Every structure is written in structure tokens, then in C-alpha cells.
Amino acid sequence: MPTPTPDSAQLAATLERLDGRGYKAYRDIEGEWTFSEFTLFIDRVQADPFADPSKLRIRVPLEVAALPARALGNRTRQVAAAAWLARAFRRSIREVGPRRAGTGKGGLVSIDAGGAEVLERTAVVFGEHWVEARIEVGLPAAGRRALGGEAASLLTHDLREIATRAWIDRRDEDDRSLLEFVDCVENQESIRRQLRERGLIAFVGDGAILPRESGASERPMLARDAVPFSSPQAFGVEFQVPHADAGAKGQVWRGMGIPRGIVLMVGGGYHGKTTVLRAIERAVVAHGPGDGRETVVADPGLVKIRAEDGRAVTGVDIQNFIDRLPPAPGRKTAKSTRHFSTSDASGSTSQAANIAEAIEIGASGLLLDEDTCATNFMVRDARMQALVHPRDEPITPFVDRVRALYDDLGVSSLIVMGGSGDYFDVADAVIEMKAYQALDVTARAQAIAKKDGYKTPRPAPMTPLRRPDPRIPLRAGFDARRGRREVKISSRDNEEIVYGTTKIDLRAVEQLFDPSQTRAIASALHVMAIDGIDEIRSLDSVLDEIEHLFDQEGLDGLDPLRRKGRHPGALARPRRFEIAAALNRMRTLQIADAKA
């Protein structure tokens, strides 16, 4: 007969026995422990009191959790329900307030519940008959000796109280909150699926609170201090959503539909242009009720583009925007921009590379704010054209390519522009933000563009626009070894990944919303290096494989050792565009047939 799983009383007794022993004695508790309400898995015990906390899982049978029947009807609802349950678990940790004990991280209990965005995470997952919280716990210590009694109280009393409050002894209002949260997310996804057939790249709901309480916060500004968004009549659209009163009153959401094509957002400084753009760039994923932006929905293929001085570029086809470089001194021929590489890109070159890289892997639209763009990349006015002949200028400004990007490649552009009216000539729609109110000024902008005194002659680009060449990454560029360590991969916030001896700077990747996404990207790069990169497949194809892995195995599949049924760490699902952004910024990246 199989050995019975030890219970919580045996866990407490074991911990009491470890009291005063060396910290590594805590490893005796690794394994599975049965509680009356759930099963506790202690997957990894930290090496010392100051190391990363221990990794535990609390698995509750679905019949014990007794979640509302319609909370888990499909994948979208499961992701949303998991997000709500993670937030409920975090709230319960704060309410119970486990006592910090001893040195280091003793007494710390945490769950990766995330922030404003609703992302697929490893923090809470569903099995066929259970729901599981993946948490981190700091085991108490005095110096480097185990405080077994404190640990027993933490693991057998405090954790039981946290899990019970969060998931088991729920009130009726908790279940109503759960269903509203899940319904709100499903409403957003319903609209997201309809955007393309409605000819839109984004929707901004009437009444949305777009400003944040500060530049360093994603919390909404207090409603009394903010101007609720209101759509201009010309851009007004309606969507019927599946669930009434979830995210907005009623079952019809009204607001501004931003059309596909070229759309300008203009207006004076501090009138709200960038605030709207920022809401849209973050609306590629859902937001929960109360965020203020829960009725803002964007096409998931929108990519924020900016200049990024100093970034590495490897084998990127930027010929659409930069061509005919002058030969370097002592050379007869210039460097090709068909497979362009540099270790220190300029503002214009980096912006050209960012666009080419986004289109290469399937971006449906580009988001640009002139404040973070290279001026010489965006436009050249008539006087500069008169002084510097087009044949002597390698840069084809974005204004001269943006029309063909949409007409020929189907890539839309939403541009915040306050300093150049040259874009009036190519814009399909122009929205003015005035005192935080959106106005339709398309007709006025087009009339201005036709006036002789305002017209800027624009030379036709010397070459037709074409889709950037696909690139094939080589495995030789991926080496996660570091000294004696076989694999060294780490991340810091949303700013940096360390892959072996290489540091990847992500500070300019603006659609990375959560440090757990950065951790997932770091793991994804390693999985790609082991299983995905074969010297044959294009980057686009490799990213397809990673997304297929996410869909089939969840984020647990990012463990290259495929250790099933263990705590995978705090991970959140990134988009393909942010995974590619990290890969493209690897200074060790090698591309097949790329010419330096």
C-alpha cells in the first residue's frame, strides 16, 4: 500500500523538531502535506534566510473552493478568475498579517497577483478538479538557525487562515465581485475580437478615467479630479457586450472608435494627447473593474515605437527608411541597410529598426508620440529639403512612408503630433485633444493641407516600400553560461535581463507592464535557444512556437527541464512583440547571412 501523505500536525511536529538547527535543516519539510481544506506542497526551501523565499503551492479542491459555476466557462474567464483569486489571496495576506520573524525574509508571505493589467500568470492555475496558489514564504531564522516553532505557526496556522479567508469562506459579495471582474474582462475581449471587422484599431469608452494619480503610478486619478472621456460624434461607435453592468452600465458600450489607417492626435501641450495614447498602448490587454481604463480596448497587434539611442541592431532590414549611406572613409562601397547591424544606433536608425522589427513579426499597427521620436526621422520640412538635396539624405522620413505602410502592408499608425502639420496630407482622421476633450478636426486639417501657403512639397521615396526581410536567428548567439554556472538568467523589474554574460536593456520597451513578464521573457529566450532555434526557422516562426507552447502548456512550459507539478516561479505572459524586443536587443545576437 502507498505511504499516507503526512498531515499538518506532522508538519508542525517536524518543524518543532528542527528548532535551533542549522537553516538547511528546513529541507526536511520539502514535499507534500495534507490539511483538512487543502494540500500544501513545499517545492523548494531557500538556501539561507536572505536568499529568495521558499516556493510553496496551496491546492484547494474545486468542490471546497465552490466557485460560482459560470466563473470558469472558457479560457478567457479562467484567466480572469485566476487574476481575481490571486488578488483575493494577496488581500488575505495583508489582512492576516503574518508576523515577520527573525532575520532575513522570515515570515514573508507573497503571491504574484500583479497590477492593473489582467495577465495570464503562474500565480493561480486550475487543474481538472482543483485550483492552486503558487506562493513564496520566508522561513523564520535566528541568524542562520531555524526558528522551528515560528515556522510551524506560519505554515500550519497563518497559511491556513490566509487560504480560508481568500478562497473558502467567501461571502456573497465576494462572489459577486468575482463574477463582475470575470464578466468585465470577457466584455473587453469580446470587443477586441470585433475591432478588425469594424475597421478599428482601438476603442475608448465614454466615461473612462484615463489620467493616473501620478506619473509613477498606474492607479486612476480620483474621479472628482479627472475629466471623464467623451467621444466626438464623428468617431462614436457602439458595441453590444455579453454581460450587462460589468465595466460599464448596461449591455451596450459607447465610445470613440479609432479607425484603421493613419490617425493623428493633435492639440496643445498638456491637453491630454499622450494620456489617451498611453491608455491605448496598455489596452492591448484587459484591465479589471475600477481601473478607469476597463472600457479601453486595443488591437493586440499594436506596438509602441520610439527612438532609442545606443541600442544594438543586428541584421535588420531598414532599407525602407534608411538607404544610400555614404561610404566610410577609405571604402568604395557603403554599408548595406538591407541587413543592417550596429552596436550603437542613432535615434533615427533605432526608430527605423524598431518599426522594421515590429512589422517583421506581424504588428497590425504602430503607436508613436513625437516626444519620444527622432525629429529627423519623422519629417523634413521644405526649407531643409531645399538646402539638402534628397539624393544626399539617406533618411526617408516616416511621413513619406506612413501612407504606403497602410495601403501596401496593412499597418496602421496612430501618431501623437503637435509640431508638424505635414502629416495632415496623409492622415485619414485627425483628433484634437482640447482641455482633455476629444474633438474631430479632420475636415479642418484637410482644408489646411490644401491651402497653397501651407503645402510642403514632398519628394517621392526613391524606392517602393516592401515588407522587411525575415531573419533567421542562430543558436550561437544564445549562451546563458556564466563562469562556473551552467546557466545564469535573471531580470530586474521591467528594465533589464541578464542572459549569461549579456545584459539586455529593456527600459525603452514601453509595453512591458509587469516584472513577471520580464522574468517570463528571460525564460522564453532560453527555451527558444534550446528547443526553438534551429538555424532554419525565421524569428516569426520561432515566436509562433513559443505562443503555441503558452497555449498548450501555460507558462509552466517555460521551464526548459519540464519539471511538471512544481512551482515555476512568478511569471506573467508577455506578447510576442516584447519577447522579440528583448531578443533584438541582445548584443550577442547572430542572424543568418546578416552582413555587418
Cβ–Cβ < 8 Å for 97, 154: no
Identify the H or E element spanning 515.
helix 515-527
Q: Can you say whether the dihedral through the CA atoms of 86, 88, 91, 96 is positive or negative?
A: negative
Q: Is pLDDT of 275 > 70?
A: yes
192 close to 280: Cβ distance less than 8 angstroms? no
Q: What is the mean pLDDT of residues 429-454?
A: 92
pLDDT above 50: residue 450 = yes
CA distance 496 to 366: 24
Pick 488 or 438 by higher pLDDT.
438
What's the CA gap between 429 and 425, in Å, rounded?
Answer: 11
d(CA 337, CA 339) in angstroms, rounded, equals 5
Angle, helix 515-527 to helix 539-553, in steps of 10 degrees? 110
Query: What pLDDT is attached to residue 563?
Result: 66
Using the predicted structure, report yes or no on whether residue 595 has a pLDDT greater than 60: no
- Residue 121's DSSP bridge partners are 572
Q: What is the pLDDT of residue 463?
A: 85
Mean pLDDT of 429-440: 97
Cell of 370: 513625437
CA distance 471 to 81: 38
For 322-348, what is the mean pLDDT? Answer: 86
**Other CB atoms within 10 Å distance of the CB of residue 310:** 13
Instruction: Give CA–CA dist 382/401, Å, rounded.
Output: 17
Contacts of 31 (CB under 8 A, 6+ apart): 6, 41, 42
Are 193 and 176 contacting, i.e. CB atoms less than 8 angstroms apart? Answer: no
Q: Identify which of 322, 390, 323, 324 has the alpha carbon closest to the alpha carbon of residue 355.
A: 322
DSSP track, 195-254: TTTTTEEEEEETT----BSSTT--SBPPGGGS------GGGEEEEE-SSTTSSSSSSEEE
**What's the pLDDT at 560?**
66
For residue 335, what pLDDT is reported? Answer: 78
Strand 200-205 and strand 145-146: the pairing is unpaired
Q: What is the DSSP letter of 526?
A: H
- Looking at residues 150-159, what average pLDDT do you find? 96
| pLDDT number for residue 308 | 97
pLDDT recorded at residue 168: 96
* Alpha carbon distance 492, 515 (integer Å): 7
- β 502-505/496-499 pair status: antiparallel
Residues 333-350, mean pLDDT to the nearest whole number = 91
| Rounded average pLDDT over 549-562 | 85
- Kindly report the pTM of this predicted structure: 0.95
Please tell me the predicted confidence (pLDDT) of residue 386. 78
Taking CA 514 as the corner, what is the angle to CA 200 and CA 569, rounded to the nearest 5 degrees? 130
- The pLDDT assigned to 543 comes to 97
Beta bridge mates, 489 = 499
Q: Give pLDDT tens digits for 385-409.
A: 778 877 778 899 999 999 999 999 9
Which amino acid would we find at residue 330?
A: G
* Mean pLDDT of the region 242-266: 97
- Reduced to 3 states (helix: H, G, I; strand: E, B; else coil), residue 314 is strand
The more confident residue out of 493 and 564 is 493
Do 374 and 307 form a contact (C-beta atoms < 8 A)? yes
The whole-number average pLDDT for the span 65-81 is 96
pLDDT at position 596 over 50: no
Name the burial class of residue 178, with classes exposed (0-12), middle (13-18) and buried (19+) by CB atoms within 10 angstroms of its CB: buried
Give the up-direction half-sphere exposure of residue 527: CA atoms within 13 A in the CB hemisphere.
23
Cα–Cα distance for residue pair 246/288, rounded to 1 Å: 10
What 3-state DSSP class applies to 117?
strand
Element (H, E) at 578: helix 576-584
Instruction: Specify the amino acid at residue 110.
Output: S
Where is 518: in which H helix or E strand? helix 515-527
Q: What are phi and psi of 236, to 5 degrees?
A: -70, 135
